[in-house]
Structure 1
Amino acid sequence: MSIIQTTQEVIQASPLATLIHSCNEVKKDSWMNYVKILLAISGADGEVSEEEMNWVFNDFLDIVGASEEQKQEIRNFDFINFNLEEKLKTLEMDVPMNYKRTLVYDAVMMARADQVYAAEEKDAVHKAAELLGVPYFIAKTIEGLVNTEKSLEMIRKSLFELEEDEAHPISNLKSLNMKPASVLERNTFGVRFTNEQTQLNYGFALMIIAGADGEVSDAEKDWYINQFVRVSETPDHIAQQVINYDYLNGSLEDVLSNLKVDVTINFQRTLLYNAIKMANADEDFPEKEKEATEKAAELLGISEDIAHTVFYLVDTEAKVLKMRATLFDYK
């Protein structure tokens, strides 16, 4: 995923930040204050853990495309002597969403990055919500939303076997012309290893399944380009081949046979997962598309109970996203 260059005064959000935060340009000072507030809340228990700091960089600063200078400022930030109450009262952001609620959400996400939501951190979150004018019941609802998303994350990790399998390490990636997927690609789409041939056939399979009703809609193509391609860092020439692929005459069985399913044990399930997400992008999942995904599950050797679990996971995630959109009042 390419990160748009930043200037000294404005952070130009990367495409993924636009997707997650629904913002385009935000002044540097407001973003930096936002992050510092998060650090102060997370450090309410006396420290910002390594996992919490990793969350700041991997799940926030890298996504918004922060410069190295801005990252260094965050590394050197003194969260202990930061006047949290004053900064909360003066925080202003020109974004098309309820940033006060998203700050509460991000604070909970960051505080829970180390799997420990300490009492001091929780008190700091509730105090921040109060100072921001976020009602207590909304703050508790946001905590519940985070709990739900964390549960879904654990289901994804287990279902797609994303945890490192130290007993069965995959070696000789270079000889297989494979590379480790990015953290975002792995956690968002469940893909651990990839190469251009895999990305091409993976895309062909998605197109065949999404086009099983006779057409790949603009919404489905948009999902592939603006979500899957960007996160998975699929090269433009591969993405164009996928978009222009003759999916009506393509053989799903032939395409699947070309995938290196032996390289990663979760590949079959993640392909089914992404095929369902793409087919659902236009909020219309006709019988032919459903039959195609069921056929894909059968060809991939996925049992009926696991296939249904993947269907329900996608459906639940879609509902959670709608809940988030409503709660954060996206414009």
Structure 2
Amino acid sequence: MRSPRWLGVVLLAACLPAAWLDLRLFLACWLAVWWWCLGLVLGVHANAWIRALSGGAWGDPFVALAPAVRRRLPWLLLALLPLAAGAHRLYPWAAGRAWLDALPRPDFPRAWLSQPFFLARLVAYALLAAWITRGTALRRKGAAAGALAVYALAGTLAAIDLLMSLQQAWYSTAFGLVVLGAQSLSGAALVAVATPRSAPEVPWRDLGNLLLMWVMTWAYLAFMQFLVIWAENLPREVVWYVPRLAGGWGAAGLALVLLQLGLSFLALLFRAVKDEPRRLKAVAAMLLATTALDAAWTVVPSVAPRGVHALWLLPLMFAAAALLMLPGLAQGVRHGAT
């Protein structure tokens, strides 16, 4: 094991006391970090599947990196076990069902959000993730199309189950697209960061254009969700944004607008950035950091909007995850595996 991964294990162990201080907040932070890590794996594959359908040299780094990131998937699926075990502490519908009974039409939510069915779906999502990330979908158009369809459907349902249901009685039809767009963006950013500058015939400008496209896609979907909810101004809908637009989480949301949209969009407009690997890598590294912030902003305020321990717990967990996930990926781009 390389020394960065040892440091990651040490940082992860340093996070464990938070489970004693505030177990629900610990599980929320674990979910945010886990979702970001899973998004890196699936985001790389989603771009690789698009390349299998469209062709083009722009996707070669994605195809090369996909087997390397897939090697992290079994560990990520094991990391889902604490969330499954602590579902009754994390999710309000699992702790008590009174709010479900207060819904206008509670029959379907009551059936869908039952713990046995929830756990069964988690197993199904894990099996589907392992299945669609097989190497076959990287080479065959039919398999790639099927993988994208399964990813869109299962990814949306997983986002509803794991993220949306953290907020009592809140729903948005655009939510799945928003989080899947963020995953595709993070996967493209990871490839740009992991691809060595010395690698021959890397289409850096194409990678920059792809990053720009995903930045605009994520921004459009996230803004339209916000705009529709803001225009309707219904209590059951605005309840999701209230804790995210106040205090420290409001500052985090502003940072997402300024960095993940504003600064990256402006930088990626210039060929001088997209044609220069060092500059493009800097923008991609910033996007990796902001997608991590986006995952935290999406998850934690639903559980503990004023949880002070998140100030140190989230940075430690994300740093540990990065040290465990990212080392060795540059060799994966060269050889297609680590």
TM-score (norm 2): 0.28
| Larger-gyration structure (1/2) | 1
Higher helix share: 2
Q: Greater relative contact order: 1 or 2 (C-alpha under 8 angstroms, separation 6 or more)?
A: 2
